[in-house]
Amino acid sequence: MIAARFPDGRLHLQHGPIDLIIEAFGARDEVEAAYRQAVDRFGGILPTLVRELPTLRRPVRDAYPLLHGPVARRMVEAVWPHRGVFITPMAAVAGAVADEMLQAMLAGRTLDKAYVNDGGDIAIHLGPGHSLRAGIFAQALDGAVTLTHDSPVRGIATSGRGGRSFSLGIADSATVLACTAAAADAAATLIANAVDIDHIAIERRPACELDPDSDLGDLPVTVAVGDLPPEAIAVALERGMEEARRLRHFGLIDSAAISLRGEWRLVHERSLEIGVGCARRLHGGAQSRR
Amino acid sequence: MSDELALSESERSAGIVRCDACPVLCRIRPGRAGACDRYANEDGKLVRVDPLVLLAKPDLARVAFVEGSESWAGELGKGEGAFITGIGATTTYPDYKPAPFIVSSKPDGVHMVTVVTEGIFSYCGVKVKIDTDRYLGPEQAAVRVKGEAVGHVTTAEYGSQMLSLGGVHHLTGGSKKEGVVTCDALLALCNKEPVELVIDGGSTVVVQAGRPPVVNGVREERMRVGCGSAAIGMFAPQWKDHVDEVIVVDDHITGVLSEHQGGRFLDMKPAGIRVRGRKSTPGRYFQVAQPGLGWGGTDVRDPLEIIEKIDPKQAWPGLKLLMVSTTGEHSAWFELDKDLKPQPAAMPAPVRKVVERIAENCEPALCTVLFMAGAGGSLRAGVTENPVRLTRSVRDTLTRVTLGGVPAYVWPGGGITLMVDVAKMPEKSFGYVPTPALVAPIEFTLRALDYAALGGYASRAVTLESVLRDNKVRLE
């Protein structure tokens, strides 16, 4: 387990696969107290989570999984609306950890703003009148988003190839803004899965052949994507857009940005700016991983 | 390893390894990493992907890496003369499994084993030596950071004030806040960062390992040359021809030249100037003033304050008097007028020279931070199945204990209680866990035969070459 402060004051917490960058803004005493609360809460997160891992790795179907741990319950809550397709609570694990840690550090504190960045899945707190700029760094283009107190977005998550978990699709990235980090995490997983097309250049293998513990069982996950013609890229992106529009229609997400081979598609672009150099103008703030 | 963790026959034959570095207990297929991306399976072996810190040379002296240097090019990979530190090794607590690395290297043809681990020290603290005669606070006074007691003022040493900070009672025996603040302060001090300490009934001092202390906002430049009596012993012959009396002001012992053995030896005439305080032996006075931030670690601002009386039977008009502090930082020159009242006057050049020489002979004032901890309990279980034998082996000096490659002093008596100078350790050697407790690298080095004899995990030993091959390494 690691608990350390970066020279610029940000808090770094790491335990097993959980790797958090935390920053709080406000009165110095309040910020320090929030960091202490985060450190206090952190030790219990992973041990509690692993106790219910077997259940959390099973697909959610018609029966609502009853779980004890606060992070586990956030995960189930986030994936429950998506039970019509294959999904396990693990799709929201990173976001749920970020949400839980954010809540722990906010309890009893008065902060201007704060974020918990769990490997790109980010939970955000904004006080009245405050805003946060977040950058999106992907292969071809950079994006940026300004979150304000009066918008409902308090979670950002990014899914796709290149992350630590497997994807059923071929998206380089699917970044989602939603009410919570867990909700964004689950939705980003599904949108990234939907960016897909059958093509000979795409190599897939059963997840369990790569990771015996994968929650995806024997589902084919993408291991390599070769050259794709522009039409194939357009079709794959449009499928992702369809899924993102559907999720937005049901009120599950605020907006999404999907990238594949340098091509971008945005759903509800009012919240997002995508364009070369947008994010490079940022100074500080949270960064979303790929 | 319990049955729950055991892999099935088919998993084993598929080359899957079980990682037990954290509670997730990933099963990892060959060529892939666990959920954390920090541990991976390479050809059926669990390897760590975070960098370890490597010290060059088996004698543990660190040698600067010179890019392009002939002797180093390609040599690292062979592991010749390299020593792996515990930095980045990581451990679990309690230590239910062998230490991360048990490395067999052969310096000078002797088959050695180094057990490399990072220890979690619940019993730990720092001893801080602050080179200053300035008054920092009364002995036993609480030392505070952000209002929390993190330690106390302990017995002063020659030219230095001593603080004892941390320890189990402040870390885990008090309030949660006290523990967290103590842990933060210790971590910063051990990682050579500055920490502001406030002493009850005393001063505020900024302490940083290897740097001068800053007392109440004033940077300390130098240690005193000695007490007032010692200063007289050292410089009396150089003053003799230019002065009638010298008073060296010091918080411990103030010296008066003409009464002192040093002056008597030079046949100096008694000057009849009596200083306050309690006479020890001729020319040596205790407690001429209160401790403080003025002359020589006293509260004296005007040196004439410490003169109790001037005896008209012995003193004479025109008598030349030097008053100086034990660092040479303060000095004043007086001549007695016809009423035998000291009047300030211009200091003659030869006298000024000796005052400057006092300053020159003062060593630079530094803060030194010794990390002190007990490598007891379960930490030893990561080294051997029979922990007490490790303790005995260390006591018998068969086992050498280093922290980040720096030899530790092991306190005699029971247990493995050790001290090490943090200034010599590589950058960012220390970490912490929320317990709160500090995490520090620790290495035990001993002969392979002795290691087997004390019940060590000899079968877990790997060669230095393979550790270098399988792990990312940072060179110090």
Query: Per-residue confidence at B33, pLDDT binned at 50, 70, 90?
Result: confident
Residues on chain B touching A16 (C-beta within 8 angstroms): 21-24, 35-36
Say how far apart CA A85 and CA B372 lie, in whole Å.
58
Candidate from B2-16, B117-131, B245-259 with smallest mean pLDDT: B2-16
Residues on chain B touching A39 (C-beta within 8 angstroms): 180, 434
Asked whether the predicted pLDDT for residue B461 surpasses 90, the reply is no
Say how far apart CA B282 and CA B260 lie, in whole Å.
5
Residues on chain B touching A207 (C-beta within 8 angstroms): none
Say how far apart CA A244 and CA A288 lie, in whole Å.
19
Residue pair B49/B42 in contact by the 8 Å Cβ criterion? no
Say how far apart CA B256 and CA A23 lie, in whole Å.
61
Question: Per the CB < 8 Å rule, is A164 touching B35?
Answer: yes
Say how far apart CA B422 and CA B404 lie, in whole Å.
9
* Strand-pair category, B406-407 with B101-105: unpaired
Say how far apart CA B459 and CA B300 lie, in whole Å.
68
Q: What is the pLDDT of residue B104?
A: 63
Residues on chain B touching A212 (C-beta within 8 angstroms): 11, 16, 27, 29
Question: Per the CB < 8 Å rule, is A43 touching B180?
Answer: no
Q: What is the pLDDT of residue A278?
A: 41
Say how far apart CA B472 and CA B321 lie, in whole Å.
67
Region A160-182 average pLDDT: 86
Q: 3-class SS at B402?
A: strand
Give me A41's structure tokens: 């809460």
Chain position carrying tokens 């429950």? A80
Asked whether the predicted pLDDT for residue B20 surpasses 70, the reply is yes
Whether A8 has its CB under 8 Å from any CB of chain B: the answer is no
Helices then strands (H, E): number in chain B?
Answer: 10, 34
- Residue B220 neighbours by CB under 8 Å, 6+ apart: B130, B131, B132, B134, B212, B213, B214, B365
Residue B247, Cα to own-chain centre: how many angstroms? Answer: 35
Please, what is the Cα angle at A193 between A180 and A21, to 5 degrees? 40
More confident call, A134 vs B373: B373
Asked whether the predicted pLDDT for residue A237 surpasses 90, the reply is yes
Question: Per the CB < 8 Å rule, is A39 touching B434?
Answer: yes
Residues on chain B touching A210 (C-beta within 8 angstroms): 29, 32
DSSP run (H or E) holding B184: helix B176-190
Please, what is the Cα angle at B96 between B92 and B101, to 5 degrees? 65
**Phi and psi, residue B177, nearest 5°:** -65, -40
Region B141-156 average pLDDT: 96
Say how far apart CA B36 and CA B26 lie, in whole Å.
9
Residue A122, Cα to own-chain centre: how many angstroms? Answer: 6
Compute CA distances B6 → A215, B1, B23, whole Å. 20, 7, 14
Question: Per the CB < 8 Å rule, is B24 touching A17?
Answer: yes
Q: Which of B26, B29, B180 sits opposite A210 (nearest CB)?
A: B29
Q: Which of A39, A50, A209 sits opposite B24 (nearest CB)?
A: A50
Residue pair A237/A189 in contact by the 8 Å Cβ criterion? no
Residues on chain A touching B180 (C-beta within 8 angstroms): 36, 39
Question: Per the CB < 8 Å rule, is A3 touching B21?
Answer: no
Chain position carrying tokens 């003053």? B239
Compute CA distances B400 → B109, B114, B403, B460, whole Å. 17, 9, 10, 19
Asked whether the predicted pLDDT for residue B407 surpasses 80, the reply is yes
Chain A: closest CA distance from residue B435 (Å)? 9
Residues on chain A touching B16 (C-beta within 8 angstroms): 212
Residues on chain B touching A223 (C-beta within 8 angstroms): none
- Residue B433 neighbours by CB under 8 Å, 6+ apart: A1, A3, A43, B93, B120, B439
Neighbours of B396 (CB within 10 A): 9
Give me B409's structure tokens: 């002093």
Asked whether the predicted pLDDT for residue B48 surpasses 70, the reply is no
ipTM of the complex: 0.74
Residue pair B145/B185 in contact by the 8 Å Cβ criterion? yes
Query: Per-residue confidence at A27, pLDDT binned at 50, 70, 90?
Result: very high
Asked whether the predicted pLDDT for residue B443 surpasses 90, the reply is no
Q: What is the pLDDT of residue A264?
A: 83
Question: Per the CB < 8 Å rule, is A46 touching B23?
Answer: yes
Say how far apart CA B277 and CA B274 lie, in whole Å.
10
Could you list the beta-strand ranges (E) of B97-223.
101-105, 112-121, 124-130, 142-145, 148-157, 160-166, 195-199, 204-207, 214-215, 218-219
Supply the CATH classification number for the domain A2-283: 3.10.520.10
The most confident of A57-71, A155-169, A260-274, B388-402, by mean pLDDT: A57-71
DSSP letter, residue B179: H
Compute CA distances B412 → A229, B397, B409, B418, B419, whole Å. 74, 11, 9, 9, 12
Residues on chain B touching A213 (C-beta within 8 angstroms): 26-27, 35
Residues on chain A touching B36 (C-beta within 8 angstroms): 16-17, 19
Whether A9 has its CB under 8 Å from any CB of chain B: the answer is no
Chain position carrying tokens 């520090």? B440
Say how far apart CA A9 and CA A15 lie, in whole Å.
20
Residue pair A53/A44 in contact by the 8 Å Cβ criterion? no
Asked whether the predicted pLDDT for residue B322 surpasses 90, the reply is yes
Residue A246, Cα to own-chain centre: how many angstroms? Answer: 18
Say how far apart CA A184 and CA A251 lie, in whole Å.
12
Question: Per the CB < 8 Å rule, is B23 touching A210?
Answer: no
Asked whether the predicted pLDDT for residue B132 surpasses 60, the reply is yes
B28 → chain A, closest CA residue: A211
- Residue B147 neighbours by CB under 8 Å, 6+ apart: none
Region B2-15 average pLDDT: 76
Residue pair B387/B342 in contact by the 8 Å Cβ criterion? no
Render pLDDT for B257-288 as a digit per residue (tens, 0 to 9): 999 988 888 889 999 999 999 998 999 999 99
Chains A–B, number of C-beta pairs less than 8 Å apart:
57
Question: Per the CB < 8 Å rule, is B35 touching A53?
Answer: no
DSSP string, chain A: -EEEE-TTS-EEEEETTEEEEEEEES-HHHHHHHHHHHHHHHHHHHHHHHHTHHHHTSPP-SSPPP--SHHHHHHHHHHGGGTTSS--GGGGHHHHHHHHHHHHHHTT---SEEEEEETTEEEEEE-TT-EEEEEEE-SS-EEEEEEETTS---EEEEESTTSSS--SS--SEEEEEESSHHHHHHHHHHHHHHS----TTEEEEEHHHH-TT-TTTT-EEEEEE----HHHHHHHHHHHHHHHHHHHHTTS-SEEEEEETTEEEEESGGGEEESTTTGGG--SSEEE--
A50 → chain B, closest CA residue: B24
Q: What is the pLDDT of residue A248?
A: 92
Residue pair A190/A165 in contact by the 8 Å Cβ criterion? no
Q: 3-class SS at B285?
A: strand
Candidate from A173-182, B280-289, B435-444, B449-458 with smallest mean pLDDT: B449-458
Q: Where are the alpha helices (DSSP H) in B191-255?
A: 228-239
Q: What is the pLDDT of residue B439?
A: 82
Question: Per the CB < 8 Å rule, is B37 touching A164?
Answer: yes
Amino acid at B408: A
Question: Per the CB < 8 Å rule, is A16 touching B35?
Answer: yes
Q: What is the pLDDT of residue A270?
A: 62
| B-contacting residues in A 196-235 (Cβ below 8 Å) | 209-213
Chain position carrying tokens 């000291």? B342
- Residue A22 neighbours by CB under 8 Å, 6+ apart: A10, A11, A12, A13, A35, A38, A101, A105, A114, A115, A116, A117
Q: What is the pLDDT of residue B70?
A: 31
Q: Where are the alpha helices (DSSP H) in B66-122?
A: 75-78
Q: What is the pLDDT of residue A290?
A: 32
A166 → chain B, closest CA residue: B35
More confident call, B238 vs B400: B238
Query: Per-residue confidence at B60, pLDDT binned at 50, 70, 90?
Result: very low
Q: What is the pLDDT of residue B46?
A: 78
Give me B50's structure tokens: 């975070």
- The mean of the pLDDT values for chain A is 86
Q: Which of A138, A124, A152, A94 is nearest to A268 (CA)?
A: A152
* Strand-pair category, A202-206 with A263-267: unpaired
Whether A43 has its CB under 8 Å from any CB of chain B: the answer is yes
